[in-house]
A and B are shown apart, each in its own frame.
Chain A
Amino acid sequence: MSTFVDEYPTEARVIRMAFWSSFVALTLGAVFGFIQALHRTNVVRVIDSTDYYTVLTGHGVFMVITFSIFFLVGVFQWAVTSSLERGPVDIRFTWSWYGVMSLGTTLVAIPILAGFTDATDMSADVLFTFYAPLQAHPLFYIGLVLFVIGTWLAGADWFLTWWTWKDDHPDERIPLPTFMVLTTMIMWYISTIGVAISILAFLLPWSLGLVDSVNPLLTRTLFWYFGHPVVYFWLMPAYLLWYNVLPKLSGGRLFSDPLARVVFILFILLSTPVGIHHQYLDPGIAEGFKFIVMTNTMFLLLPSFLTAFTVVASIEHGARQRGGEGYFGWLGALPWRDPSFTGMALAGLVFSFGGFTGIVNAGMSLNYLVHNTFWVPGHIHTQVGTAVALTFMAGAYWLVPQVTGNQLASRSVGLFQVVLWFVGIVFMTNAMYRGGLIGIPRRTAEPQYQGFEYEPLVGSIAELDAQVALGGTLLFLSAILFLWNMLLTAFNSGSEPVVDGSLPPALSGPEDSPRILDNLKLWTALALVLILLAYSMPLAGIVQDGGLFGPNVDAFPVFVDAVSTAVDATVRRLPLESIRGLIT
C-alpha cells in the first residue's frame, strides 16, 4: 500500500512543479492585493497612485491566470492519473506543456513588473482584461498566447491518455474525475478561440505596429467570449474537489455520479454563449442580443444549483454516517477540525452567497446599478478569491502530502488559516458589495472625491474603508500562513503523509445514467450551435459598424510619465487666470 507519489513518482513530480509555480504566483498576487487594499482605502500608501494599475494588473494576472491555472493543471494531472490508473502516454510531452506554460507566464510577468521602473519604456498596465485602446508591450501578449498554448497541450495530453485507456477498457464508463477534466478542457478549447483571435489577429499585430488601429468593441467582445468561460475554468477544479474529495472528507460518498456528469455537460453547453452579459453597458451591441444572453445566463444557474444540492447531500451523507441527526444537527457531526474539509465547506458557503450577487450581475436592469462599481470585485473575491482559492488551499492540505510523500507541516495552522481567510473575506467583500451599491467605483487608486459625498444606507465610508483594509490584511496574513505551511511541508521529508488518498464510490454510480452523457462529441457539437446562435449576429453587427480594425483608435500605452509631462507643459504655458476660467 502506498500513496500517490510512490505509485506515480514521475507524474507526482510534474504535479509538484505545477503547484510550486502556482504558489509563487500566489505570493506575488497576495503582496499586490495587500498593497491595493491599503492604498485604495488610504490607510497606507507605499506606492505612487500612478503605479496602482501596475499593481492591479499584477494582482489580477498572477492570481487568476498563473495561480489558478497552474493549480488547475496540477489537480487535473492528479485526477486523470489516479482515476485512469495510468500515467501519460509520454511524460516528455507532459513536461513540454509545463515548460511552455512556465515560459509564457514568465514572458507575461516581465512587462508587468517592468511597469514599476523608469529604466525601460516597457509596460503592461492593461489590467487582467487588457481592453484596447490600453496597449501592452508585445511580450505580454506573446506570453499570454504561449501560456494558453501550454494549457491546450496539457488538454491534448489528457485526451491522449484517455484514448489510450479506452483501448484497454472498451466498455467502461469514463471515470468521473477524468470525465470532469475532459469536459472542462472541451469548454476551454471552445472558449479560448475567442481570446486567441483577439490577440493573434488584432492586439499583438497592433502592439507590434503592424496595424494602426483595432476595433475596441470587437476585441472586448472576443475577450468576454473567453472571459466568462474562464471563470468556470477556475471553478471546475474546485468542483472536481467538491464532488470527489469533499464527500470522502465528510465521511460519506458522492450522492450522485450522473448528476455530477450533467452539471459538467451543462457547463460545456452554457458557459460560452453568455459572455456578452459582461457588456450590458457597452454601446454597439443591440439590447435584444443582450436579452438572449441574459436568458442563457439564468439557465447557467442550473448547474450551480444542482451542485449545491449534490455536494451538500453528499456531505450530509457523511455526517449521518458519523452519527449526525436532525434537520440541522447533522452539521455538528462533520469533521470541522480537518482544514481540508473546513476550508472547502467555508468556500462553498461563500460561493452560495456570491451566487446571489452573481444573479444581480446577470440581470440586465440590476446590472446597471452595480456595473463597474466596487460590487464587482466584491463578487470576484467571493467567487474566484474564495470559492476557488480557498478550495485550492484546502485541497492542497490534502493533495500536497500525497504528491510529496511528506506529512503536512501543521494541521492546526492549516485550520486557523482557512478560518482566517473566511473571516478576512467576509470583512472585505461585504464592504466592497455595500460600497458598490452606493456607487464607489472599482479600479480606482483614490476613490475619494471633493465636494461629493457617498451616502451609505448603513454605516459610513470610514467604516467601509476600515473593513476593506482589515479584511485585506487578514487575507494577506492567511495567504502567508498557507505558503509558509506549504514550504515547511515541502521540506518535511522523512515523515509519513497522514492522508488516506482513496475515494469511495458514489451512492448512485454511472450505471444509473444513460451512456449518452459520455458522448463528448455530441455535447461539443451542441455547444458550438448555441455559440453560433448567441454570437454570430452581434459579432457581424460589431464588424459592420466599426470595421475589423476600427475607426482609427489611437493606442494608449500607459506611459504615465509621458502623459503627465505633456500635461505639465501645457499647464505651465497657460496663464493662471485662464485655468481658473476653465475650472469655474
Chain B
Amino acid sequence: MNPGVVKSLSMPNSSVAVETTRERELGHDEFDPIGTLALIALYFLVLVVMWLFTYFVEFVGNGPTVVGVV
C-alpha cells in the first residue's frame, strides 16, 4: 500500500444513504484555490481598515498613553 494514503478513520456505515452531491472529482493538480485567495484578500482588507480605525480610537484626541507628562 502507498504509505502516503491516509487510511479512512473509521468504517462508513453502508445501510444509510449518505448525502452525496459531488459533481466532479478534483485532484491535487486540477484544484486552484482562487476563492481562498479572494477570501484572504478580503480579510486582509478588513484588517487594514480595522487597524486604521484603531488608530483613531487609540491615538487621535488622546495624549501619549505610556510616557505621560509628570
Which residues in A have some Cβ–Cβ distance to B below 8 Å? 1-4, 7, 79, 82-83, 85, 171-173, 175-177, 244, 251-252, 255, 257, 308-309, 312-313, 316-317, 319-324, 326-328, 330-331, 335, 352, 356, 360, 365-366, 368-369, 402, 437, 457, 496-512
Structural contact, B13 and A499, CB atoms closer than 8 A: yes
Write the nearest CB–CB distance from A5 to chain B, whole angstroms: 10
With known contacts A327-B38, A365-B65, A369-B58, A1–B25 Cβ distance under 8 A: no
Contact B9 A317, beta carbon cutoff 8 Å: no
Q: Is B63 an interface residue (CB 8 A)?
A: no
List the B side residues contacting A255 at CB < 8 Å.
Answer: 33
Q: Is the CB of B7 within 8 A of A85?
A: yes
CB of B10 within 8 A of CB of A4, answer yes
Q: Which residue of B lies closest to A504 (CB)?
A: B8
Q: Which residue of A lies closest to B24 (CB)?
A: A321
A313 / chain B contacts, CB cutoff of 8 Å: 33, 36
18 intermolecular pairs with C-beta atoms under 8 Å apart: A1-B14, A1-B15, A7-B10, A82-B9, A176-B6, A177-B9, A308-B43, A322-B21, A323-B21, A323-B24, A356-B46, A360-B54, A499-B13, A502-B11, A504-B8, A509-B4, A511-B2, A512-B4
| Residue pair B13, A500 in contact (C-beta under 8 Å) | yes
Residues of B within 8 A of A360 (CB): 54
Q: Number of residue pairs across A and B with beta carbons under 8 Å?
A: 140
Which residue of B9, B22, B54 contacts A322 across the interface (Cβ within 8 Å)?
A: B22
Check B39 for interface membership: any CB of A closer than 8 A: yes
Q: Is the CB of B66 within 8 A of A365?
A: yes
Interchain CB contact under 8 A, A503 and B58: no
The answer to whether A328 touches B38 (Cβ under 8 A) is: yes
Cα A498 to Cα B35 in complex, Å, equals 31
Partner of A502, one of B9, B15, B28: B9
Contacts of A503 in B (CB 8 A): 6, 8-9
Question: Looking at the complex, which one of B12, B43, B54, B66 makes contact with A500 (CB distance below 8 Å)?
Answer: B12
Flag if B28 contacts A508 (CB, 8 Å).
Answer: yes
* Residues from chain A with Cβ under 8 Å of B28 in the complex: 507-508
Q: How far is the CA of A257 from the CA of B6 in the complex (A)?
A: 10
Place the interface of chain B in its size category.
35 or more
Question: B31 and A500: CB pair below 8 A?
Answer: no
- The interface residues of chain A lying within 8 Å CB-to-CB of B8 are 502-504
Residues in A with CB closer than 8 Å to B31 are: 317, 320, 507
The CA-CA distance from A312 to B35 in the complex, in Å, is 9
Given known contacts A309-B36, A316-B36, A510-B4, is B13 in contact with A321 (CB within 8 Å)? no
Q: Let me know if B26 is at the binding interface, CB within 8 A.
A: yes
Q: Which of A85, A312, A366 contacts B54 (CB 8 A)?
A: A366
A82 to B35, CA, bound (A): 32
The answer to whether A175 and B6 have CB atoms under 8 Å apart is yes
Q: How far is the CA of A509 from the CA of B15 in the complex (A)?
A: 30
Closest B residue to A311 by beta carbon equals B36
CB distance from A410 to the nearest CB of B (A): 17
| Given known contacts A82-B10, A85-B7, A498-B16, A321 and B39 CB-to-CB distance under 8 angstroms | no
B33 touches A502 (CB 8 A): no
Residues of chain B with a CB closer than 8 A to A172's CB: 3
The docked-state distance in angstroms from the alpha carbon of A145 to that of B64 is: 44
Q: Within 8 Å CB of B65, what residues of A? A: 365, 368-369
List residues 20-70 of chain B with CB under 8 A from any CB of chain A: 21-28, 31, 33-36, 38-40, 43, 46-47, 50, 54, 57-58, 65-66
For B46, list chain A residues within 8 Å (CB).
356
Q: Report how far A3 CA is from B8 CA in the complex, Å.
A: 12
The answer to whether A501 and B10 have CB atoms under 8 Å apart is: yes
Give complex CA distance A366, B56 in Å: 12
Further pairs besides A79-B9, A330-B35, A366-B58: 6, Cβ < 8 Å? A317-B33, A327-B34, A331-B35, A365-B65, A503-B9, A509-B5
